[in-house]
Chains A and B, each alone.
Chain A
Amino acid sequence: QSALTQPASVSGSPGQSITISCTGTSSDVDAYNYVSWYQQHPGKAPKLMIYEVSNRPSGVPDRFSGSKSGNTASLTISGLQAEDEADYYCCSYTTSVVFGGGTKLTVL
């Protein structure tokens, strides 16, 4: 049950696009289409942003999109806004469940 690998930090200016990667193995990300992404603001509970690789829950802006290629999943945020600044976590099924280490997004 090794954690999925995410970059520690990414940054972008308002209006730009950024992509956060999430690298797993043939036992998790590559094996199942059950990859999710969560946004967490300081002191708050996480919020589901993407489920099953590329699906957005109701209420999540379409600026957020997800994809997967092999053992790497990606979260792309287009048209960055100040309120997007937060920590982002990927998560995958693997007979149990494993999170990524998290990525801090800074909006410059």
Chain B
Amino acid sequence: EVQLVESGGGLVQPGRSLTLSCAASGFSSHDYALHWVRQAPGKGLEWVSGISWDSGTIAYADSVKGRFTVFRDNARNSLYLQMNSLRAEDTALYYCAKDRYSYYYYGIDVWGQGTTVTVSS
């Protein structure tokens, strides 16, 4: 079964850091681009970051640029999101997601169930 499982979410104070992880199984994740997409409570989807299969192409939403870093470990079939200088507006459910192709963006055809990040003092 094709699956993405996120972990690492939790409650964190403003200004602190947190790293999310995503474990892929059931497919060769190293063949595909991967994304992080978030959804604040009661709000719509917001694309956060994308990374190509070989980590050669990476992009970020303006709202997180300079604070978040995406990276992947193909040997471990894993994707990560290092989040620094967290703000209250970063509070959201964070989805790990797979692109249909090795570069983005051709459509996201697999989504995890998400991990919740809450930024609050």
Contact check, B50 vs A97: say whether CB atoms are below 8 A apart.
yes
Number of A positions contacting B (CB below 8 A): 26
For the complex, is B95 an interface residue (Cβ under 8 Å from A)? Answer: yes
Greatest chain A CB density within 10 A among B50, B60, B62, B107 is at B107
Instruction: Choose among A1, A48, A57, A101 the residue that contacts B44 (Cβ–Cβ < 8 A).
Output: A101
Docked Cα-Cα span, A40 to B47, in Å, equals: 15
For the complex, is B109 an interface residue (Cβ under 8 Å from A)? Answer: yes
Q: Contacts of B63 on A, CB cut-off 8 Å?
A: 1
List 18 A-B residue pairs with CB atoms under 8 Å apart, sorted by A's residue number.
Answer: A1-B61, A1-B63, A34-B105, A34-B107, A36-B105, A38-B45, A40-B45, A52-B107, A57-B109, A89-B44, A91-B47, A91-B105, A95-B59, A97-B47, A97-B59, A98-B47, A99-B47, A102-B45
For the complex, is B35 an interface residue (Cβ under 8 Å from A)? Answer: yes
Contact with A along B66-110 (1 / 0, CB 8 A): 000000000000000000000000000001000010001111110
Q: Please report A residues at the B interface, Cβ cutoff 8 Å.
A: 1, 3, 34, 36, 38, 40, 45-48, 51-52, 57, 87, 89, 91-93, 95-102
Contact check, B105 vs A89: say whether CB atoms are below 8 A apart.
no
Judged by DSSP, the binding face of A is strand
Q: Contacts of A57 on B, CB cut-off 8 Å?
A: 109
For the complex, is B25 an interface residue (Cβ under 8 Å from A)? Answer: no
Q: Contacts of A99 on B, CB cut-off 8 Å?
A: 37, 44-47
